[in-house]
Each structure stands twice: as structure tokens, then as C-alpha cells.
Structure 1
Amino acid sequence: MSALGIPCVRPLVSAVVCALAAPQALAAAPSPSIPGTWQLQFQDEFNGSSLDGTKWRLGGHWAGIAGSGGLSPRNVTVSGGYLKLRAEQRNMSYSGVNYAYSASEVSTFFNYRQQYGYFEARVKYPPVKGLWPAFWLMPDRGSYGWQGAYARTYLKFDLTGANLSQVNTATLKLTASAIESGETNNLVFMKLLDDSWSESSLTWNNKPTPDPVWLEQRWNNKWNPGQEVSVDVTEFVGQQLAGDKKVSLVIADTYLRTKFIKFHSREAAVQANRPRLVINGVTYFASEDATVQWGEYANTNYGKSLELMVQDDWGDTASTFNGGMEVDIMESLGIWGPEVTSHATHWDGYAAQHQSMHWGHVTFPPRADGFHVYGAYWQPGLLEFYVDGVKTGSWSHSRILGVPAYLLLSLQLGGWDGNTPGPQVHNQEMWVDWVRTWSGTRAPAASP
């Protein structure tokens, strides 16, 4: 079973596929670059105008990113049939760490995981010193801690009668009612384009999916009860004013920080404590709000609660110990130049017990459009790597990743080998045409 209680699909004995979101209809099934018996399991062609929140999220399972650049939502876009991951030279803060550069990373963590099969992505990136593009896998055992401790907050502001012609400033204001002490907490504020939900019927199991490219992150919050919390939402409110004039927002953790934060809801006795939007200096109170909770509360409606809550629990789901492993299908450093990549695996943590397997510099012929198809074939005790359908590395060993994994695409900065970022990385982009995974087995190698 998946962590949501959805049965894992087992189309072939060699594959375990767990979709954590509601099942999505797949497009006409393409075939991978290598022959075999395949069944398409995951597919994103990036043909929309935004990142699909049923498949992807910003970052991986933890609130950090490797390299010299912080994770920035403004560096992740979808347009023209591509996912575009951008790097910038600018000061920013992510998860409490200050950076001189911004980077980008998305993953399927908490949405999709698969064990065994073939994994493939069509990618291009510029060979610019300082860039660190990658397509990789990390373990996801589906162990997320106590599901009942997961909570999201939904807010809606109906501006249809507000007689607003433009938005100069718009600030979301909340009043904290309680905050759990100890360790670090995290909040992300997300856009929600689906305004059809109602506070009287909203539950975890029927909640609409927000845009995973969040508006703002608030890290290590130490608010006291009664303290006002403000978030700038000017751009999004302006967009919605030009549309249906309804503004929906979602507040979540997403990084397994375990500590709850509560706010007064629109049912609060003191009006000044209720969620509100201050637009051009005028206050508009929430028309609907509700918390949703997972686990045993997944069908419970909290629309009349006096408080709103945000929390994620924690589970040791992504450890690279005990059968877990990082698998780098494509990992390149800009300093290496064009048409050079590497494959690698890492296991048993990243400290004293860390172990790894590397394939060195892998070179391949150029293509006119700059795109290459990077793939990995994974079976029990076997990993094979491919570029444009040509095998570029293989490894047979009992320690190879033996638990389900989630997918990551990243444009990090720096790394090693003197790949130091500088002004040359500014506004450079990694483009992803598509990502697909299959269950199944490749055809036997031809006899010599």
C-alpha cells in the first residue's frame, strides 16, 4: 500500500509503483529509448503554463539544497512545452541560510515514487562554469510519520463586490494563536487557482491542489500568540482580480518539520484576529477558511473551527542507509564543457560511513538542438545508465537501491572540481522537455 492507502500497482513482478496523489490519466504511451517490455507509469510533457502540483513540488524531502545557490520559486517556470530551471546571481535566503546565488530544484517527493523499471528525461543545459544540472533519484519508503499530524490551511477571499480596478499593494494578514516550541518550523504560502472548494465540505481527501511554486517561505518562526503575520501577495491578487475576483491561498509546511503553527480563523470572536487581505490600504476579511488533516482525520471537515493549523510530521523515508541510495542518472558540471556528464551512486549517509560508486566523465555525440535523453534501467541488484539510448555505465551488486525512489530535477550551483559559480551563471537555464518512467524489463542484450 502507498502512504495514502492507495494500493501500489504491480504491473510486473519486477516493479512496485506508488502514486501518492489521485490517479491521473496518462497520455498515449511512448516507448523508452531502449527495447523491452514496458508499461508507462509516470509522464509529464510540461505542456501547461505551470508546474503540476499533483506530480511535483519545490525541493526534495528536506528543507535544503546542495551547492552554492538557494532554492528560489521564481527560478522554476513552465512554458513553451518545457520545464525551465534557472540560476541567478542575487542575494537570497532559503530555509534560514543566506546565499549569493539562487538555484532551482523540483521533485516528485510525496506525490510519486517507483521501484524498478526504466527512468528517462530529455534535457538540455548550457556548459557554463558554475552550473550543476542533474536528474536523479532518492529513496522514498512511504514512511512519513504519523499521518494525523499533517495539516494544511485553506483561505479564500471573495472580492467580487469590492469594486477594485487595480491592485497597488496586497498583504495577507494572519494572527498567530499558538506555536509549538522546539526545533525549527517552516511555512510556505501557495497560490490556489481552484476556487470551487467550500469550507463546509473541504477535507484532506477532496482538497484541491495548489501551485507548488510557492509565493513565500517563512522559516524558523517564533511568533507569540496574538502576533500579526504579514505576507506580500500583491502580484497574485492582481492576477485574480483580472479573473474571477476570488483569491484562494494554501499554507503548508512541505518539509517534515513536525512543529505546528496555529492561526485564528474567520470564526474568531475578535474580528481583528481573523484572516484578512489589506488591498490598497482597505481590509477585506476571508469569506471561507478551513484546515484539512490527513490520516484518521482525512474525511473530517474543520470549516467551523476557531483555529487554523499547519504541520508536517516526519518519517525516516529518504535515508540512504538500509537499502536506500542516491542514484545520479545525469549529473554534470559546467566546467567540464559540452556533451560530458557523469553517473554516480551514494549510500550509507553523507558523513563518515558514506560510500559511493562513480563512472567518471561520460562523453557522447552532440545533437543539433542540444537536448539529450538520459536514462537509467533499475532492477534488483542491477543499474544501467544510458544517454540517447546508448549504454554508458552498468553495475551489478547486491547493495544497489532496494526501496522505492522519488525523482528530482535540479539546476544547482558549484559542486566540486573547481566548478565555482560567478556572474556567468546569471539567467542560465536548464530545460526539460519531458520526464517518463516505465515498469518492465529491457530486451536481452544481443549476442556478439
Structure 2
Amino acid sequence: MLTGLVCTLAVVCAPSISMARNFDADELAIEFAEIRPTGADVTVTPGADATAAGVVLDFEAGKSGYPGVYLMPNEGETWDLSDFTCIEFRVINQGEKPLYLTSRIDNKGDHTKKPWNSDSRRIKPGEAGVIRTFFGYSYRKAAFKLDASKVSKLMLFTSKATENQSIKIESIKATKFKVPFKSDFAPVNGELFGGASSFDVGQQLVTQNGAMIEGGADAQPLKVEFSKADQSVQFRAWNARWDLRKGHQLVVTLKNVGRSAVSPSAQAVSVGKKTTDRVTVTEPIQAGQRAEIIVPFMPAIPKLAGDKNKFESNKVEYVALYASDSDQSQVLEIESVVLASPAITLPEWVGQRPPIEGDWVQTFSEEFDGDAIDLTKWNIYGPNFWDKISHFSRDNVAVEDGNAVLTFEKRFGHHNDDPKSTRSNEYATGFLSTYGKWVQRYGYFEARMKLPEAPGLWPAFWLMPDRGLDAGEQWQRQSINEDAMEFDIMEYLSGWGTNRFTVAFHYDGYGKDHKATGAGVYTAQDEEGYITTGLLWLPGLAVVYNNGVEIVRWETDRISTVESNIIFTFVGGGWDNLPIEDGELPEDFEIDYVRCWQLKELASDVDGVQSTQNTLAAPTTPDAR
């Protein structure tokens, strides 16, 4: 194990240098045994010593996607940098164009699990810049829990060069620079304030515009006094952000200990000043009375597709309590601020009919009441375009207790259980699709689902166009150009927690003209832990309902006019997820039922069964006549 590091450039610079660890040092100049270019398009000019100071990297235009260098310790060894918080690269852009540089710190391990931390910086021509990559963080977010005592290599690279570029490394050091990113703190038992919480009023309660506080420590009640309508107090996590992903609403309990009736309000504010609704007590609190302010994470008014106020419950900066809209004296005793996740009762129509009146006919009903998947309706094999770590397997699709169960587990195998497949992965998962077997244009599509909790997973309920066998290959049948689109009815990243998912509509292809809109939403579960989500698809209109409530609406002439099939995927990753934790696998995505309806006036010959072939994958030939 090394504490000093030495240098070759595929290119030997110096012998290995061994350094004694200095626990009191604020920084350590790293020495390298080797600096290895990623390819022939990177030229390395050595510096004066093994620390990489003065090393020049020249990038030739257009040869590779991410040109750069690997910075290595002695063969078979690692660096122990556990006394530090980050690696600091100081570089000069010697080229004539801005350069976007990325630094990376690696542990040994399976590359598909991305055992590294990264960060980037844009550096202008002729300027010096510092890139700090902190252990446990990537791109300013908590990420892979890197073991700083076993760093196996460093990397420094840029994006594809459109013209020749050059940088000079001034230094590469391990430092004790304070981590500037706030950690996420999940309140114990959901108690942000009050109860058994360890809330420190002096450090965590912030007053605004002259609000006054008294008590709140040593079991004393916390009193807040407002004298103006613009005053408020903020309940913050200690040097952190609140991680409230385990609930879908906040409950602020308080007592009016003043002389006049008051109507305070509350809301939660996440990173980027994204907010919940600001909720006022339902009726004025009279002197001496207690009351609750319930702040749902889901807005009272349904979202329009494209809504930019994407409140993030796992990144809450503070919970605010605001004065009444009055300059009179207001004195409140705050008893508690608690995260809650009560179960809900669904409206009677859910699962029985569509949400709007009309001459509806049920066209598809899958209750999963048997002991196996009905392969005349569903495919369990197909291409996996969505992640690079999992393969589809029939062993990961089951019917149990009236549910279809898709299981994500760590099990190496070939995609679609085909030993001839060129794709094999360490994770296995289940897949369901009616592609080639059943489609419908317009109508109402609903599923009742139980979401997984293990981090790093990405289940979804969605529709894709299917123009049928005569349209050609799958990419032609399922193109979202022209009049078609992808409907993501429920798309969930498990790192968000089971009370949040997203709705999205994708159209105009997946290339340079691709467009998308949608919204993030919050949800409760029913008494059995399920959510029920549906899409109302009509000409010029797409409305998504969740647990019987409208949540997202999009009205436009661009709504798809092409018949579509149903898909359930359960892969890993996603754009804003946590790393997969093998110790929490296997994990299940359960589907209780899938039900669809059609308006009689919108029914057409394209609707319904395309094939009844009993196949694991989509049929490639028409049914026999």
C-alpha cells in the first residue's frame, strides 16, 4: 500500500517513492508509477519529477470520445488517502478553445457498478483551473462510497476534441478541503422537530425578517412570535439537507398561545427554491387552541406537462412556517414537525371504469390469477435498450398471489436466456410487453403496482407505438417520429423513495430532434402498499391519474395517433438514481392488474389482438389462418 506515488508515461519517469504518512498534513502531493495515455491521440510530455507537476497533455482532434490519461500507482498496490477528503487537480488550458475536463478516482471492482467518483470543470483558454473530486461524491451529489484507503488509479480526460488541444498539469494533490456539498439527513421516526428528535434550535432554526423565538431547548416549549406578515422561521437540518423520501406530507402541530386568532401557513423548500404548495390552516386558530398544518408534497392543482417546479423531497433545504397575513402580534408554540406517509382510500371508480363519463367498453383485462404468465398476451423476452447491466430471464417473471412479479437479482446470465447472445450481464430481471400481441389507439390504460425500495432500480409502466408486422423492423414499427410518441405513465427511480415518480411524453424521434415533456409527481400508497396509475389518451389530450386523482395534463395536436402496446420494464440505473446495493437484492416489482377501456366512438380496426401465438418473444410471422 502506497502513500507516495511515482511516474511513467507508458513512459517511466522515476522509481517508486515511499513516503511516511503524515496525519497532520493538510495536503499530499501525489506521485505516480505510470501515466498511461488512453490512446495514440494523447501525447504525454513528462514533468520534472514523479508528482506530475509540469506534465503536458496534448490531445489530437477527432480520434476518440474521451481522450485522457490513467495515473497509476506501483503495480499491485493502491494509495491510502483516507486522511484526506478529495483529490485536487490544478491544470492550465494551453489551447485556444474552452476545455471541459473530468477527473476520476477509482477503487478496484466490477466496472459495471461504477466504483469511482468524478467531477468536471470548464476551463477557458489560457486560464488555470482547479478540479476537486471528493470521496463519496460525483458531480456534486452523493455517489459510490469510495474507499479512500484503497485508491487504485486516477483519471483525467476531456470530451472528444474537435481540434488539437493542450493542457499543463500544475499539481495533483490529496487535500483536506472541506466537503462543500450538504449530506442528506433522514429524520429518525420522521421527526424533524419535537418528539425524540435532536433538533438544535440555536443551530437549526433560522428566523426571517425579525421573527422572534424563545425556548426550544432542555424540554422547554418552542415559542415563535411574529409581528409582521412577512416574517417566518425555517426548520433546517444540521449542516445538511432533509431527506424526506420516506413520506409524502409534513404535519406541523402548533398551539396559539397569543391573544388573537391566527392563520399561519407552511411549506417545504428544496434545492433550487423548488417548493411544495404553501398551505394555510383550514380555519383560524383561536387563542388557546391547537391545530395541524398538513403540507402534501403533491400540489393541489394538477400539473401541466413541462412544469418546472420540481420539488425534490430527498433534497429539502428547510421547512418554513409563515406568519398570518397580518401585522398583529402572533405567538405560536410549535409542538412538532413530522414527516408522514398515511395510506389512502381510493375513489370507488378506480379499477372499475375510466375517470370520465362516456360509452366505454373494457378491452383488456389481465388479473394475473393463474400460476404463469399468459404468453398469448405477453412477451417476456425482447431487446433491452435501457441499461447495460441487466439481462431478461424467464426465471425472473412469475405469477404469485394474483400478481405478476418481476424480480431484479444479482445472477449472471445471457440476455433472453440465450447462450448464443452476445449480451451477458451480472444482473437478471423480468420484462413484460404486449408488443406484437395487443395494441390500442386511444382509451384508458390502468395498472395497480407495488414499487420496489432497494436503491438503484428503475421500474416503469408505459406505452410504445406498434404499427404491426407490415411496417417492417421493430425500430420502424415503434418509431416515435411523425404522429407517434412514447407515453411514460409511471417511471420510478427507487433512489427517490416510493412516494415519488415521474410522468413523461417523448416524441419526434430519439435523435437530434427528440423532444420530451412531463412532470415529477408524488404519491401515497393504499392500505396494501400499492399505487394505481392510469393514462387517459384521447385525440389531442393525454391525462395521467394516480390513485384516482388527476396529476398531469397535456393538451396538444402532437398527441400520438398511432396504436400502442403496453410495457413493464424493471432495469437498473436511470438519470438520477442511487447506486445498486447488492445486499438489498433480490427485489420485486409487482403488478396486481392491467385494465384497459375504449370509447365506442374511438374504436377502430387497429385496436385489439394482433396475435395469439404462445411465444416468449414477439411473433415475427402472422398467425396461421
Compute the TM-score of the two structures, normalised by the length of structure 2.
Answer: 0.38
Displacement after TM superposition at 1:342 (Å) = 0.8
Asked if 2 retains the 8 angstrom alpha-carbon contact of 1:339 and 1:365, the reply is yes
Asked if 2 retains the 8 angstrom alpha-carbon contact of 1:136 and 1:409, the reply is yes
The structure, 1 or 2, with the larger RCO (C-alpha pairs under 8 Å, 6+ apart) is: 1
Displacement after TM superposition at 1:374 (Å) = 0.6
Corresponding residue number in structure 1 for 2:399: 78
Displacement after TM superposition at 1:372 (Å) = 1.0
User: What letter matches 2:411 in structure 1?
Assistant: R
State the distance in 1 between where 2:375 and 2:575 align.
Answer: 32
State the distance in 2 between where 1:342 and 1:327 align.
Answer: 11
State the distance in 2 between where 1:324 and 1:145 align.
Answer: 14
Q: Deviations over 1:284-318 (max 9, x none)?
A: xxxxxxxxxxxxxxxxxxxxxxxxxxxxxx67211
Q: Deviations over 1:107-126 (max 9, x none)?
A: 00111000001000000022
Q: Sort the Cα spacing of 1:382 and 1:425 in 2 relative to 1 into closer, same or farther, 3 A.
A: farther
Question: SS at the partner of 2:544?
Answer: strand
Corresponding residue number in structure 1 for 2:371: 49
State the distance in 1 between where 2:595 and 2:375 align.
Answer: 16
Q: Sort the Cα spacing of 1:338 and 1:315 in 2 relative to 1 into closer, same or farther, 3 A.
A: closer
Moved over 3 A (4+): 143-146
Q: Deviations over 1:34-76 (max 9, x none)?
A: 242221001100001111111111245xx22412311111100
State the distance in 2 between where 1:425 and 1:405 align.
Answer: 35
Q: Sort the Cα spacing of 1:366 and 1:53 in 2 relative to 1 into closer, same or farther, 3 A.
A: closer
Q: Does 2:251 match 1:91?
A: no
State the distance in 2 between where 1:36 and 1:52 align.
Answer: 31
User: What letter matches 1:404 in structure 2?
Assistant: E
State the distance in 2 between where 1:438 and 1:424 align.
Answer: 41
Equivalent in 362, 366, 386 of residue 66 of structure 1: 386
Question: SS at the partner of 1:74?
Answer: helix
State the distance in 2 between where 1:407 and 1:86 align.
Answer: 19
State the distance in 2 between where 1:403 and 1:410 align.
Answer: 21
Displacement after TM superposition at 1:30 (Å) = 6.2
Corresponding residue number in structure 2 for 1:393: 552
Corresponding residue number in structure 1 for 2:485: 325
Corresponding residue number in structure 2 for 1:100: 426
Displacement after TM superposition at 1:90 (Å) = 2.1
State the distance in 1 between where 2:471 and 2:537 align.
Answer: 27
Corresponding residue number in structure 1 for 2:467: 141
Question: SS at the partner of 1:335?
Answer: helix
Asked if 2 retains the 8 angstrom alpha-carbon contact of 1:144 and 1:315, the reply is no
State the distance in 1 between where 2:399 and 2:385 align.
Answer: 21
State the distance in 2 between where 1:348 and 1:73 align.
Answer: 33
Asked if 1 retains the 8 angstrom alpha-carbon contact of 2:493 and 2:577, the reply is no
State the distance in 2 between where 1:83 and 1:47 align.
Answer: 9
Mapping of residues 268-287 of structure 1, within 5 Å? none
Corresponding residue number in structure 2 for 1:417: 576
Equivalent in 500, 508, 513 of residue 348 of structure 1: 508
Of 120-129 and 383-392, deviating more is: 120-129
Q: Sort the Cα spacing of 1:33 and 1:378 in 2 relative to 1 into closer, same or farther, 3 A.
A: closer
State the distance in 2 between where 1:145 and 1:343 align.
Answer: 28
* Cα-Cα RMSD: 2.2
State the distance in 1 between where 2:392 and 2:584 align.
Answer: 15
Asked if 2 retains the 8 angstrom alpha-carbon contact of 1:42 and 1:436, the reply is yes
Q: Larger C-alpha radius of gyration, 1 or 2?
A: 2
State the distance in 2 between where 1:48 and 1:317 align.
Answer: 31
Q: Deviations over 1:178-236 (max 9, x none)?
A: xxxxxxxxxxxxxxxxxxxxxxxxxxxxxxxxxxxxxxxxxxxxxxxxxxxxxxxxxxx
Corresponding residue number in structure 1 for 2:355: 34
Corresponding residue number in structure 1 for 2:187: none
State the distance in 2 between where 1:34 and 1:86 align.
Answer: 31
Asked if 1 retains the 8 angstrom alpha-carbon contact of 2:381 and 2:393, the reply is no
State the distance in 2 between where 1:441 and 1:131 align.
Answer: 39
State the distance in 1 between where 2:544 and 2:580 align.
Answer: 28
Q: Sort the Cα spacing of 1:41 and 1:385 in 2 relative to 1 into closer, same or farther, 3 A.
A: same
Q: Sort the Cα spacing of 1:145 and 1:321 in 2 relative to 1 into closer, same or farther, 3 A.
A: closer
State the distance in 1 between where 2:492 and 2:384 align.
Answer: 20
Displacement after TM superposition at 1:145 (Å) = 5.1
Asked if 2 retains the 8 angstrom alpha-carbon contact of 1:129 and 1:335, the reply is yes
State the distance in 1 between where 2:543 and 2:461 align.
Answer: 15
Displacement after TM superposition at 1:441 (Å) = 8.8
Question: SS at the partner of 2:409?
Answer: coil
Question: SS at the partner of 2:352?
Answer: coil
Asked if 2 retains the 8 angstrom alpha-carbon contact of 1:89 and 1:425, the reply is no
Question: SS at the partner of 2:395?
Answer: helix
Question: SS at the partner of 2:590?
Answer: strand
Corresponding residue number in structure 2 for 1:264: none
Unpaired runs of at least 5, structure 2? 1-349, 416-420, 602-625
Mapping of residues 144-293 of structure 1, within 5 Å? 144=470
State the distance in 2 between where 1:347 and 1:35 align.
Answer: 26
Displacement after TM superposition at 1:424 (Å) = 4.2
Q: Sort the Cα spacing of 1:378 and 1:130 in 2 relative to 1 into closer, same or farther, 3 A.
A: same
State the distance in 2 between where 1:79 and 1:59 align.
Answer: 20
User: What letter matches 1:372 in structure 2?
Assistant: I
Corresponding residue number in structure 1 for 2:498: 338
Displacement after TM superposition at 1:127 (Å) = 2.3
Asked if 2 retains the 8 angstrom alpha-carbon contact of 1:348 and 1:354, the reply is yes
Q: Does 2:564 match 1:405?
A: yes
Q: Sort the Cα spacing of 1:145 and 1:378 in 2 relative to 1 into closer, same or farther, 3 A.
A: closer
Displacement after TM superposition at 1:368 (Å) = 2.2
Asked if 1 retains the 8 angstrom alpha-carbon contact of 2:467 and 2:562, the reply is yes
Q: How many equivalent pairs are there?
A: 245
Unpaired runs of at least 5, structure 1? 1-28, 147-255, 257-313, 443-448
Q: Does 2:510 match 1:376?
A: no
Q: Sort the Cα spacing of 1:318 and 1:366 in 2 relative to 1 into closer, same or farther, 3 A.
A: same
State the distance in 1 between where 2:485 and 2:436 align.
Answer: 17
User: What letter matches 2:361 in structure 1?
Assistant: Q
Compute the TM-score of the two structures, normalised by the length of structure 1.
Answer: 0.52
Displacement after TM superposition at 1:422 (Å) = 2.7
Corresponding residue number in structure 2 for 1:357: 517
Question: SS at the partner of 2:369?
Answer: coil
State the distance in 1 between where 2:449 and 2:363 align.
Answer: 19
Asked if 2 retains the 8 angstrom alpha-carbon contact of 1:127 and 1:336, the reply is no
State the distance in 2 between where 1:338 and 1:315 align.
Answer: 32
Asked if 2 retains the 8 angstrom alpha-carbon contact of 1:132 and 1:415, the reply is yes
Equivalent in 440, 444, 457 of residue 131 of structure 1: 457
Q: Sort the Cα spacing of 1:144 and 1:102 in 2 relative to 1 into closer, same or farther, 3 A.
A: farther
Q: Sort the Cα spacing of 1:73 and 1:352 in 2 relative to 1 into closer, same or farther, 3 A.
A: same
Q: Deviations over 1:131-185 (max 9, x none)?
A: 1111100001124457xxxxxxxxxxxxxxxxxxxxxxxxxxxxxxxxxxxxxxx
